[in-house]
Amino acid sequence: MIRPHPSHRLLDRVFRILFPGLLLLLLNGCASVGYYSQLASGQLRLLQAREPIDQVIADPARDPTLRAHLAQARAARTFASAQLHLPDNKSYRLYADIGRPFVVWNVFATPEFSLAPQNHCFPIAGCVAYRGYYSQGAARGEAALQRLRGMDVAIGGVEAYSTLGWFNDPILSSMMHWGDERLATLIFHELAHQRFYVKDDTEFNESFATFVEQQGTRQWRASRGLAPDNGKRMRQREQFIQLVLDTRQRLEQLYTQPLPAEQMRQRKAQEFERLRADYQRLRDTRWAGDKRYDAWVYAPLNNARLLPFGLYSQWVPAFAALFQQEGGDWVAFYAAVEKLGSLPIDERKAALKALAGSKSSGD
């Protein structure tokens, strides 16, 4: 059995001491003690599973593939702080074998004829459009209850997440099937959340972290003497996301119409069939038959499955323009991002729209 590092044991003790007060702080409205208790106990088990990456890499008894993968991750982690000026702490310098394919399962829910998510608010992260569970069974139970209430429901497995610097987040075994570059991009993305985060503005936070991830990866590739990525996969991803966003826009327009429920259901089903037809045409004519999104498209579709799309990319062009304005200087860029984030939300969105417009006109 791997013994936890002394500093990890200290953190665990602090976590146990603070947990009762933290639980009382988190409870609000109809929130249940049981739900927050599983969040706290799941996070504690994750903290207890951590071990230093250096220790794993140096152990000849450990799996050679794991050690090689973690060695590449360690190099990317060093690059993140030294070159991208991201937080220099123990996050992603630790490893945790969690023994399951996902660390948490998120449950998304919307009304049958609405794309408004059922939001859940937390003191640290603010309001988000899902509830997270460390147990797949618990997530399925919550999904079943929501369906009984007539909601559209989706469950999404999550391979990694950030505690926004509250704890030293580890690289998880659920991430080990990723390639070295994707693991590096995840490190850049999650450390960006630690660098700056605006409560209750998911589009801002995710677009900012996605820009840092993309620009950081370009610099990471250059530092290793690799040719620039031709962007094929990214273009396909953007085209697919646009198909989903177009569907969502049509559904939002549909749901404003005063139609009988049965007719609304038929029209809703037609929109999902249109999405599948549009996807198949795109896949077969422009992607040379690449089927990477087939599993998602041909699974049962509903409103809740559309919720995550667009959150990660809406303002990426705006942050790209801001980075350009600051001459590619990361420190100046972060200062400008913090200034944006301090604005009232309406002013912030107006500024982002202006930046995105300047990026488009300059291309």
Instruction: Give SS3 for 157.
Output: strand
CA distance 226 to 234: 17
In the chain, the number of structural domains is 3
Q: Is the pLDDT of residue 362 over 70?
A: no
Q: Is residue 32 part of a domain?
A: yes
pLDDT of 104 reads 95
| 76-120: pLDDT as tens digits | 999 999 999 999 999 999 999 999 999 999 999 999 999 999 888
Q: Is residue 1 part of a domain?
A: no
Q: How far is CA 343 from CA 201, 291, 346, in A?
A: 12, 42, 8
Q: Which two tokens stand for residue 244?
A: 């989903």
The verdict on 255 and 165 lying in the same domain is no
The verdict on 184 and 240 lying in the same domain is no
The verdict on 22 and 162 lying in the same domain is yes
Q: Which of 171, 205, 164 is nearest to 185 (CA)?
A: 171
CB distance 153 to 109 below 8 Å: yes
- The mean pLDDT of the chain is 88
pLDDT of 271 reads 98
- Among the candidates 306, 330, 345, a domain finishes at 306
Q: Which two tokens stand for residue 137?
A: 């069974």
The verdict on 191 and 212 lying in the same domain is yes
The verdict on 338 and 283 lying in the same domain is no
Q: Which of 39, 236, 40 is nearest to 138 (CA)?
A: 39
Element (H or E) spanning 303, and its range? helix 303-306
Cβ count within 10 A of residue 56: 21
The verdict on 11 and 147 lying in the same domain is yes
The verdict on 244 and 120 lying in the same domain is no
| 36-80: pLDDT as tens digits | 888 888 988 999 999 999 999 999 999 999 999 999 999 999 999
Q: Is residue 118 part of a domain?
A: yes
The verdict on 198 and 280 lying in the same domain is no
- Among the candidates 206, 223, 240, a domain finishes at 223
Domain span holding position 154: 6-223
Q: Is residue 21 part of a domain?
A: yes
pLDDT bracket for residue 199 (50, 70, 90): confident
pLDDT of 16 reads 38
Amino acid making up residue 132 = G
Q: Is the pLDDT of residue 193 over 90?
A: yes
177 or 192, greater pLDDT: 192
pLDDT of 298 reads 97
Q: Which of 124, 94, 106 is nearest to 22 (CA)?
A: 124
The verdict on 291 and 194 lying in the same domain is no
Token pair 């044991």 is found at 9
- Average pLDDT in the 213-224 region? 95
The verdict on 137 and 32 lying in the same domain is yes
The verdict on 158 and 290 lying in the same domain is no
